[in-house]
Amino acid sequence: MATVVVALLAGLAAGAAARPLIFARAVPRGEPNRTACPSCAASYPSPGLRGRLQAATGRCPSCGSKTGPAAGLPELLTGASFAAVAAAGASGWVGAAQYWLLACGAALTIIDLKVHRLPDILTLPASAGTLLLLGGAALAGEPGSFWRALAAAAVVTAVYLVLVAAGMGMGDVKLAPAVGALLGWSSWTAVLWGAFAGFALGAVAGLALILTGQASMKSHVAFGPYMIIGALAVFVMGA
């Protein structure tokens, strides 16, 4: 229980730290990053600890307009995912790789759902950091296979690259090495289940949007969140 509580608190802190980055990058592709409130041009977040605490309300401290992610959203999303992985027994270098992917993944989820993009500033560090931490796990002799992780990263990335022709975004492709490597560290079964879970969740979400009139058959569905949620489900269930 103590480990879960510590993970929850660490996740809350990680989500708070990611909030300014989410605010800056949650803009349509091609538009400049935001650095200030769109309504009054006040700096976001305001300097100092007080400014960061005010930013967590999801409103501009100067004009009160909705600014950035909703109140508590990145904090709670990251905290809950950290706690879930901790409850599943994450530890060591492999545990650190899981937390790293989820820290990047929570921010990516919010951005992708908002503007349908996965910025390089998060996808590339997510993949590089995951591979680096798994390399540490291999050197430390933790159970698993680094070579299988590399092979899985390559296979999953190649599959996603082929699917670009069917509408898959390049952001998803750049996130694929992290998801594939982390699943592949455990087993090929985990890779298969993780990939299947991501596609299944994406299909269900897309169908729900169509049935509720919020999307059409031609609409683009943010797939990044389902990649990450599918991998998280496999982590937690220990496939």
> What is the domain partition of the chain in residue ranges?
91-237
Report whether pLDDT(176) > 70.
yes
Q: Return the sign of the alpha-carbon dihedral for residues 41, 45, 48, 53.
A: positive
Please indicate whether residue 218 or residue 46 has the higher confidence score (pLDDT).
Answer: 46
Comparing 8-17, 45-54, 96-105, which segment has the lowest mean pLDDT? 45-54
Give the tokens for residue 55. 């930013």
Find out whether 97 and 127 touch, Cβ atoms under 8 Å: no
Beta partners for residue 59, in sequence order: 66
| Residue 76 pLDDT exceeds 70 | yes
* Percent of the chain topping pLDDT 70: 97
Mean pLDDT to the nearest integer, 208-226: 75
- Stretch 68-89: mean pLDDT: 90
Q: How many of the other CB atoms lie within 10 Å of CB of 142?
A: 16
Phi and psi torsions of 230, nearest 5°: -60, -40
Estimate the share of the chain in helix, then strand, then coil, as percent rounded to the nearest 5: 70, 0, 30
Residue 163 has what DSSP assignment?
A: G
Instruction: Measure the CA–CA gap between 127 and 110, rounded to whole angstroms.
Output: 18
For the segment 137-171, what is each residue's pLDDT rounded down to a tens digit? 999 999 999 999 999 999 999 999 998 877 788 88
pLDDT of the residue at 216: 65
Mean pLDDT (the chain, rounded): 87
Specify the pTM.
0.89
Please report which helix (H) or strand (E) contains residue 113, including its range: helix 92-115
Convert the pLDDT of each residue in 81-114 to its tens digit: 999 999 988 889 999 999 999 999 999 999 998 8
Section 207-232 average pLDDT: 78
What's residue 239's pLDDT? 47
Closest CA to 26 of 230, 226, 222, 175: 222
113, 222 contact by CB (below 8 A)? yes
Tokens of 138: 């291999």
